[in-house]
Structure 1
Amino acid sequence: MLILGLGLMAVGVLGASLDAPVTSVTVYSDQAQVVRSGSLTVSGSRRVTFPRLPKNVDTDSIRVEAEGAEVSHVDVRIVKGEAFSHDEARKLVARLEDVDVALARIAAERNVHHIQIEALRRIRPTVPGDGEAARAQTSPSNWSTAAAFLVDNIARLDARMRELEAQSETLKKEQQQHKERASTLGKTFGEPGVEVGATLTGNGATKVTLTYLTTGARWYPRYELQLQPESQRMQMAFYGRVSQETGEDWEGARLTLSTALPSNATAMPKLSTWKLGVRERFIPTPHPHQESIRPAQAAPDSQPKVTASADQALRAQLLLLAGAQAGEQPAPTQPQAPEPPREKGRGTILGTVTDAQSRKPLADVVVIATAPSLEGDYLTMTNAKGEYLITGIPADLYTLRFEREANKPYARSHIQLRPARTIRVNVELLSDSLRETIGINGRGPIIDVGSTMAGVNIDVEFVHKDSIPQDVGLSPPPAWRPPTFDPESPVAVAGGYNLTFTSQHRETLLSGKGERSLPLVSESWPVQVERQVFPALSQNAYLVATLKGPARTVLPGGDASLFVGTDPAGSATLETLVPGGTFNLPLGIDREVRSARNVRLVEAEKGFISKEEVGTYEVTIEVPNPYPFPLAVSVMDQLPLNTDGKVEVALVRAVPSVQPDTGTGKLQWNVTVPPSSKSTIAFQYTLSRPKGWRLFQK
């Protein structure tokens, strides 16, 4: 009983491993939010540990929730490379051994049934002679019973053999999967990762959820648009191309693809009061001698450590069960080099902020330390006692700014922080309600609380010095940089919309195994299709589809593959699709429609003194329609432009009538060709020039 009690106590202290697979994933443009879920029974207080998370997990985003119990404590620990998942290794070893035993049992049973079937099939009835028939004790009517016995037993054994064959195939597939995992686990010396543990308090069945953000995942929109000429409809299929290298496999998870930008903000921002041209008052305060604050030593790791020999034995057993060669066994784990000591060229600034009138400590004061040689700022806030601490900052000449909503802002400059030193800078802030304004210089004392009692002398020259210049602007902090994204990423092509699309089924996406296309939306859109012909340039007719507000919801832009029927028609890039919008799609060449263009030229002269040559051009265009339905065609041609005052171009007539574009000379007719017929377009224009001139085209 004592041993059992100690075992239960150890389980309660170390915690039980919770089977929490990935159940849902939200994929963003450059990261993913992963949700793991598991169930257990809680009685009192119980500690559980989740499966190890990959190293690229954002530890600040880790959140544990429970239904049926209360989460009283959460531990997040970064595991170094030499760590090894012994729980998973032992489970793999046990499962592989169970599968081997099951396969051996099935093989033995199949051998027994095979021998029985062969024995039954060797039984052959023979025709007895006259003497033997007389001595036979068996009635001829029993032959049917014997034959039925043989047939029924052979059929039963054959059915059992088929059942055992199916079980064997299933177990072999499972064995192969476990062998691959065992080989990977045995050859990997434990990638760095994150271990999460939680303490639950309650009674009864509990569902636990672990949520976190991880990098190494992305998705891109993709479309397939298929024109169906018979029904004049456009079949749209919207896919999400998803890939991930997060270090963990998503098996049977519900995937959601989002164009939003996830935020880690947990509190609403506060607006501070801006004061322009206000000078602060300096009140000298004596400072007691303070000893340097040394950081507390790190607590020893309470997790049990496994010796290298046990590690190697477990790895060797995994590789043996996986069928790996002896030469493939990993070498012993090398001890990791100790961490380098903290850089000696850093120091600490601390102090207390109080109210100048009430002398009470001020909480939530924003303290910002800046230095000319540093790119960014160091920022902290005072606690309920008005204390602040900025530790581990490089030695430099700093300026401290103190800001609080109900007090006037204040700055102290020329604070010299030397290497491996701690200095104290106490500050008193004036209330916003005070109207007294005194100009002073903010140069404060340089105090090394470990060895000095420096002060400041206030004389006439000190009082008449200029106050601290304080520049106020709307620009962000110097270290801030706007996020950048791939121009083809969802956040860049969504037009500012936060869109989400959920997979139709649970999907499996393995880490580092390429991308998958997930079907998200499928719709049928009405479409207006017309042919555009340029007879002067080509006989071909070009298909152009016009879609007016087809989308039911907002869809992000992306690359689209175009099809006419079952034939590919090229590709296009779509902008953000919104209900009510209009866009055109080029669908390639309609090889069934080929236009013809004929030109007839008549030359003549006019004038008595100055002769002019006049060319009359009669152009005829024919557009056929081989289809059994009316065909909308846009016919484009062109008149030459007059760039010289001595050359004149004039449109004489056009059937159907058309108005040329004065800037380009473009002529465009929108006609509807009857089914199985053709339409004719004719126009005539003249070109006059001085006699003897030669024209050329440019």
Structure 2
Amino acid sequence: MVAGADQRWESVLDGVVVYAQGALCTRLARGVVPSDGRVRVTGLPRTVDAGSLRARVLGGSGVRVTEARIETEAEPADDGDRDALLREVERLREECAAARARRQRQLALIDEVAALRPVPPPRRRDDPPHRTTPVEAWLELAGFVDERLTGLHARLAELDLALRDLEHELSVAEDRFGRASTARPSARVATTVCAVVTLDGAPGEDGDVVELELEYGVAGAVWVPAYRLSCRRQDGDGRLVLRASVAQRTGEDWTGVRVALATADLRRRTDLPRLGSLRIGRSQPAPAPAGWREPPPGLADLFTSYDAQAGRLRRPRTAAGSAAAAGPRAVGPSPAPVPSPPLPPPSMPAPAPVPQAPGAAYGAAPEVVRGAPRGRAAAPASAPAFAPAPAPMMPAAPGMAGPPPPPPTGGSVLAGAEAARSAPAEPVSGPPRPSGDELDYTALVLCGPDEKGERRGRLFPGASSDVVAEQHWRRAETVGALPLPRHAVRPRESAGSFDHRFDAAARADIPSDGTWHTVTVGEVAVGLRTEYLTVPSVEQTVYATLVLSNTSGQALLAGPVEVTVDGEFLLTAGLPTLAPGAVRRVGLGPAEGIRVTRRTNLHESTAGLRGGTTVLDHRVHVELVNTLARPVTVEVRERVPVTSEADVRIEERADWTAPEDGAGAGAGRKDDSGRPQEPPGSPGQEGPEGAEHHAAGTRVWRVALPAGGTAVLDGGYEIRIPAGKALVDGNRRS
């Protein structure tokens, strides 16, 4: 089918859904349906997955899609921005070379002037032994050299400055050229991909415009989440903006498209497995294989005349060469080629089940003219990406259609096909079952008489187009190796077993340059409050923290968060994955307006009958001072010892409490077996979802400090150790 016979519709990329790897693009096209119903939608990238193409007609018109397939064309490439950048780089390189040449000439001139020295005239016989030289001549020469060198060095400084500016411009131009979009080809003749769609039915009125939507998958797109948190210390509220760093090298620029971000795997199998049915009864004959028929009888006799003619053309040269080499000796004629008997129909291996590509479209059957198929039927991509090379086969019977193979995702298709062709086919029982490559009619190539063996006059899949597509896919997949930003986490690692989708609020532009670009998705509903935390037993410093609670219906994935407080950038922290309702703390740094002081006192004594129990009385004194102009809430954390001995007792003397999640509440408690009970949140035992985990024995004071106020906290605990449990010459106080 001639490419120019179909009506061409221009298409516009409307939306993109970026998955963990790869993307699903939506393209719109409008036009009037021709009489034959075949249209050619242009503008598709080279990394398109042929098995994921899906087409549908928008609106309530009576037109429907009956066939959709991918075809590759070659057309002249227009001069674009990449050519302009290349010309700019070449121009700057020439100017830099000229500037370097001028600088070298200036240096040579400076060396020449600096080498000027007075040369006395040759001495004569009648000259006195000592001649005098005028001082004025020496001074004039020195002044001339000094004045000349001053001007030359000034000119050299100007040349150095100009050369430095040109080298900077050249480096910028080379960087722009290296980051130029891959959507524009560098060759004069570029290969383009289009979708051939067959429409059936007629619209309501003659000449009505039909809107067509194409959906296809592409490789070479990744994304990681990022956040921007803005808050105010006085109000205690803020807003969390979800952003995403997107990188794509799909071969087309995403300009003004609706962007959605998903954590799902685009290559994950979504279809249900097919289970073979078991029937009790008489055996039924196997159904005829779809898209295959036996070779015609006498196929080997088709090339008998060709072989005989080739033998006559070679015989005179062979006889002459033999007579010249062996002398006057008669050379008998070569025997005529004996035709080989017809070959039995080959057996074909069955294709292995593979994941079905998303968005597969079903199409109509191809036309067969004189045993050669026309067109290509689009069907679900159920064939393997690297199916084994088929045995020789004939074109499909009319009315039979099969799935086209999906584009390659790795490995060499050509090497795999040649290796499979060289391997002998394993005999299978029953009728032959063609694979996906054998049913891809547009990729079948008729082998000519120069082929050897059983390949003559039979159809085999061609691998030239697959090799080209493989190169584009390999280049597109390089974005998966980009270094991640700091604190960034892959979506599949942070999403866990659940999949989420985030739709951007506005359209965005993402060029196909393979670098990270930031896209604003939208604002996320979260709860914020500012709290102050201190652990004076470790460090007598109060830290400001931001308590972040996820009040939205979606999970917040792990990623970097830029914290801005009162309009000033503070820091970039790593936000963990937050499920709906989960709470996490984000540190904001030391709070200079709040001071804390801690003093301890230890008193050792004995108690009990005959002083058999050692009592270690620990006293803790904590003072807090708030110099801020607003009231604050400070959480003071202490830790009491935890014992695993039944005879050693710890008695607390303070109004502190255990943390909210209960960690530390079970300190000192024992289970039914007498072993110490491990508090919730400890290593090896999960606490409630979203709760903060604390170490065993943690105690908390929560103090509300007014503006300019102070607070004093007193607490302590006693450790009672029996005499038999006391350590000799050891530290019994900790």
Give the structure-2-normalised TM-score.
0.48
Identify the residue that residue 589 of structure 1 maps to in structure 2.
589
Identify the residue that residue 245 of structure 2 maps to in structure 1.
241
Of 203, 217, 222, the match for 1:218:
222
Q: CA separation of 1:274/1:184 partners in 2, compared to 1, >3 Å: closer, same or farther?
A: closer
Identify the residue that residue 695 of structure 1 maps to in structure 2.
731
Tell me the distance in 2 between the aligned counterparts of 1:491 and 1:665: 36
Instruction: Tell me the CA shift for residue 189 of structure 1.
Output: 5.4
Tell me the distance in 1 between the aligned counterparts of 2:600 and 2:402: 90
Q: CA separation of 1:540/1:401 partners in 2, compared to 1, >3 Å: closer, same or farther?
A: farther
Tell me the distance in 2 between the aligned counterparts of 1:280 and 1:555: 56
**Contact 1:525–1:550 (Cα < 8 Å) also in 2:** yes
CA offset digits 1:138-191 (Å, max 9, x no partner):
xxxxxxxxxxxxxxxxxxxxxxxxxxxxxxxxxxxxxx99xx999964536535
Q: Which amino acid aligns with 2:731?
A: L
CA root-mean-square deviation:
5.6
**Contact 1:648–1:687 (Cα < 8 Å) also in 2:** yes
1:254 counterpart = 2:254: no
Tell me the distance in 2 between the aligned counterparts of 1:657 and 1:543: 21
Q: Which amino acid aligns with 1:242?
A: V
Identify the residue that residue 661 of structure 1 maps to in structure 2.
667
**Contact 1:660–1:667 (Cα < 8 Å) also in 2:** no
Tell me the distance in 1 between the aligned counterparts of 2:513 and 2:181: 15
Instruction: Tell me the CA shift for residue 46 of structure 1.
Output: 6.8
CA offset digits 1:16-39 (Å, max 9, x no partner):
543323222222222222222233
Unaligned runs of 5+ in 2: 85-175, 287-292, 300-342, 351-386, 404-419, 433-451, 456-479, 659-664, 670-695
Instruction: Tell me the CA shift for residue 681 of structure 1.
Output: 1.3
Tell me the distance in 2 between the aligned counterparts of 1:295 and 1:211: 46
Q: Which amino acid aligns with 2:240?
A: M
Q: CA separation of 1:14/1:384 partners in 2, compared to 1, >3 Å: closer, same or farther?
A: closer
CA offset digits 1:628-656 (Å, max 9, x no partner):
333222222223455678976544x3256
SS at match of 2:347: strand
Tell me the distance in 1 between the aligned counterparts of 2:544 and 2:6: 67
1:154-169 aligned within 5 A: none
Identify the residue that residue 87 of structure 2 maps to in structure 1.
none
1:673 counterpart = 2:674: no
Q: Which amino acid aligns with 1:232?
A: G
Q: CA separation of 1:73/1:280 partners in 2, compared to 1, >3 Å: closer, same or farther?
A: closer
**Contact 2:622–2:712 (Cα < 8 Å) also in 1:** yes
SS at match of 2:42: coil
**Bigger mean CA offset, 196-205 vs 69-78:** 69-78
Instruction: Tell me the CA shift for residue 598 of structure 1.
Output: 0.7
Tell me the distance in 2 between the aligned counterparts of 1:522 and 1:13: 49
1:23 counterpart = 2:27: no
1:509-520 aligned within 5 A: 509-520=510-521
**Contact 1:546–1:582 (Cα < 8 Å) also in 2:** no
Of 568, 572, 575, the match for 2:577:
575
Q: CA separation of 1:224/1:518 partners in 2, compared to 1, >3 Å: closer, same or farther?
A: same
Q: Which amino acid aligns with 2:712?
A: T
Tell me the distance in 2 between the aligned counterparts of 1:377 and 1:661: 71
1:22-421 aligned within 5 A: 22-42=13-33, 44-45=35-36, 48-66=39-57, 70=63, 76=69, 78-79=71-72, 84-86=74-76, 88-89=77-78, 185=185, 187=187, 190=190, 194-198=193-197, 203-204=206-207, 205-260=209-264, 272-274=276-278, 292=295, 347-349=346-348, 395-398=425-428
Instruction: Calculate percent identity across the aligned residue pairs.
Output: 18
**Contact 2:19–2:222 (Cα < 8 Å) also in 1:** yes
Tell me the distance in 2 between the aligned counterparts of 1:662 and 1:184: 71
Structure having the larger proportion of residues in strand: 1
How many residue pairs get aligned? The number is 441
1:683 counterpart = 2:715: yes
Unaligned runs of 5+ in 1: 1-9, 97-175, 285-289, 297-343, 352-373, 403-418, 423-483
SS at match of 1:60: helix
Tell me the distance in 2 between the aligned counterparts of 1:234 and 1:563: 10
**Contact 1:494–1:557 (Cα < 8 Å) also in 2:** yes
Q: Which amino acid aligns with 1:396?
A: E
Q: Which amino acid aligns with 1:36?
A: R
CA offset digits 1:479-519 (Å, max 9, x no partner):
xxxxx999944455446555443333332211124122211
Tell me the distance in 2 between the aligned counterparts of 1:73 and 1:499: 33
Q: CA separation of 1:261/1:186 partners in 2, compared to 1, >3 Å: closer, same or farther?
A: closer
CA offset digits 1:545-588 (Å, max 9, x no partner):
4445522x31441214152613434423332532xx13122324
Identify the residue that residue 532 of structure 1 maps to in structure 2.
533
Tell me the distance in 2 between the aligned counterparts of 1:513 and 1:216: 8
**Contact 2:545–2:589 (Cα < 8 Å) also in 1:** no
**Contact 2:21–2:222 (Cα < 8 Å) also in 1:** yes
Q: Which amino acid aligns with 1:680?
A: V
Instruction: Tell me the CA shift for residue 349 of structure 1.
Output: 4.8
Instruction: Tell me the CA shift for residue 538 of structure 1.
Output: 0.8
